[in-house]
Amino acid sequence: MMRRTGKVGRDILNLLSTMVKPGMNTWDLNEVARVELDKVGAIGTSKHYPTYKAGEGFPSEMCISTNEEVVHGIPSRRRVLKEGDIVTLDLSLKFEGFCADMAVTVGVGQLSPRVQKLLDVTKETFDLACREMKPGRKWTDIARLMQFHVERSGFSVVREFVGHGVGRTMHEDPKVPNFVTPEQLRGDFRLRAGMTLAVEPMVVMGRREVVLLEDGWTVVTEDRMPACHYEHTVAVTETGVDLLTDGRPAQL
């Protein structure tokens, strides 16, 4: 059932990725996602999600973040993409009772070599985590490798946001960080077959510090350097992991 949800979401992200080009605005991208979700009876779980500002929920079906925006960018007609930008398409959805969470950062036209490396390293960090995930493994052992790969490549890991469990609701326990601190060590857990987790490295070109904008949602890098976000929902199996949001059809 979660793979079916993942297939719906991946088809939408694939469609939106083909539409990312100079002149496109992020509101129109979200509108396409809204129509596609409606077609199959799925819902974007970001819409009306509780916010940092009391009484105001998130206003759109997706989070769409550009350049220095790390997460929770609000789609806008004023946010018009231009050559060399990067845009993160972050979609969490619920379909027939189950959730899936996924994100990809896409380049707009030709990127600078440094920005392209940021995108490559972020995906490499996710792939590294998947190769290391096995039942019985402590998560902090994997998070330490993720952090090392990012920092060895000359980038930084955002620490204010982490991955999470996902299943019948969008955010479930446990927390799934991409770094190791004493706090993360205290909250460590061992992987077990059957766990379904959103693994989502968030990597920035400059310093790791982030700030929240006045809209109460959008999180940007403090130094305004570019940020990248890559995410799949994965299931822990007896031998490793299975990607539930890679677009493969469910076998029922």
Position 52 scores a pLDDT of: 52
pLDDT in tens, 16-74: 999 999 999 999 999 999 999 999 999 999 988 875 555 678 999 999 999 999 999 99
> Which residues of the chain have a pLDDT value below 50?
none
Position 252 scores a pLDDT of: 59
Q: Give dist(CA 99, CA 80) in Å, integer.
A: 30
Residue 184 has phi, psi (to 5 degrees) of -65, -35
Position 121 scores a pLDDT of: 98
> Judging by beta carbons within 10 Å of its beta carbon (0-12, 13-18, 19+), is residue 150 exposed, middle or buried?
buried
Q: Give dist(CA 121, CA 129) in Å, integer.
A: 12
For domain 2-243, the question of CATH label 3.90.1300.10 is answered with no
Position 53 scores a pLDDT of: 56
The one-letter code for the residue type at 72 is H
Position 14 scores a pLDDT of: 98
Position 167 scores a pLDDT of: 97
- How many Cα atoms within 13 Å fall on the side-chain side of residue 55? 0
* Sign of the C-alpha dihedral computed for residues 68, 70, 74 and 77 taken in this order: positive
The domain spans of the chain are 2-243
Position 250 scores a pLDDT of: 82
Q: What is the pTM of this model?
A: 0.95
Position 50 scores a pLDDT of: 73
Note the Cα 34 to chain centre separation in Å: 18
